[in-house]
Amino acid sequence: MWRTLLLLVIMPVAFAETDNLMPQRKQVLQELLKNDCGACHGLTLKGGLGPPLLPEALAGKSDTMLVDKILHGRTGTAMPAWEKIINVQEAHWLVQYLKKSR
């Protein structure tokens, strides 16, 4: 609960600064998505051990909830917490990247 409240306070700032990520960091995040997330969500992100991460699968899911899942994982599942590797701004960038058609 407190994590969600904290994210609601931090998220507007992170949303505003999403485009401030360096191109090199965006590349690292794309590689993380492909290699690490793809290990469970499928290399094409169509699903596997984890659910699909395609735009249509994420439609209707709040950015705040998705960022929270990325940063803190999902208890009782194989979804790990990534908060030691990426920050709120980067998690939001990943959500936006996943939600747009590629």
List domains and CATH numbers for the chain: 2-8+24-99 (1.10.760.10)
pLDDT at 19: 76
Q: What is the pLDDT of residues 36-90, one digit of tens each?
A: 999 999 999 999 999 999 999 999 999 999 999 999 999 999 999 999 999 999 9
The answer to whether the predicted template modeling score (pTM) of the entire model surpasses 0.85 is: no
**What is 61-98 written as a DSSP string?**
S-HHHHHHHHHH--TTSS----TTT--HHHHHHHHHHH
Q: What is the pLDDT of residues 19-28, one digit of tens each?
A: 789 999 999 9
